[in-house]
Amino acid sequence: MKSEEPEGQKSKACQMEALLYATIFGNVTTIFQQMYANTNRYHEMLNSVRDFLKLYQVPKGLSERVMDYIASTWSMSRGIDTDKVLQICPKDMRADICVHLNRKVFKEHPAFRLASDGCLRALAMEFQTVHCAPGDLIYHAGESVDTLCFVVSGSLEVIQDDEVVAILEWTVICNIRI
């Protein structure tokens, strides 16, 4: 029984199938390689930090906080250095990205409701995202404060004399004088 398709078409179909298979397989391989590279980078960083903590005999409680901070920060950022990525982009594009990264604060906080797009772009370029792990102290009593903080996710406990006097949720601005 002879096939209806000419040999040339069969050959081209086989080549296309092989090319498609190679493309898919190549992309999957690249994804796995990237995952392993990121995991290796993470473990190298953890080993460096452990060596540092051991070398300088950092107390156990503080060492655990440092390791927890690194693990939680890595899980949020997946090891991507946002500042490094932003520096690659031209200023206008960087402003667009910064507005996007801070959109939750801009949309949901009343202080920014009447701000122009230009104002939001300028502010977004100055904002710094800081990740605080559970149990971190942001300011100590009596410490000079020169920044304005927004709780974007989670909550913040205000502690005075070892007692929680307030819990600030993500919608509340930290009431700080500048």
Residue 89 has pLDDT above 80, yes or no: yes
Residue 7 has, within 13 A of its CA and on its CB side, a CA count of: 0
Residue 32 has pLDDT above 50, yes or no: yes
* pLDDT one-digit tens code per residue, 151-160: 887 888 888 8
Q: Higher model confidence: residue 118 or residue 23? A: 118
Would you put residue 154 in left (φ > 0), alpha (ψ -120 to 50) or beta?
left
Q: Higher model confidence: residue 20 or residue 96? A: 96
What average pLDDT does the structure give for the chain?
82
Residue 60 has pLDDT above 70, yes or no: yes
Residue 36 has pLDDT above 70, yes or no: yes
Q: Distance between CA 149 and CA 129 in Å, rounded?
A: 10
Q: Higher model confidence: residue 68 or residue 135? A: 68
Look-up of token digits 């205000």? 158
Q: Distance between CA 89 and CA 92 in Å, rounded?
A: 8
Q: Distance between CA 105 and CA 120 in Å, rounded?
A: 10
pLDDT tier at 123, thresholds 50, 70, 90: very high
Query: What percentage of the chain exceeds 90 in pLDDT?
Result: 30
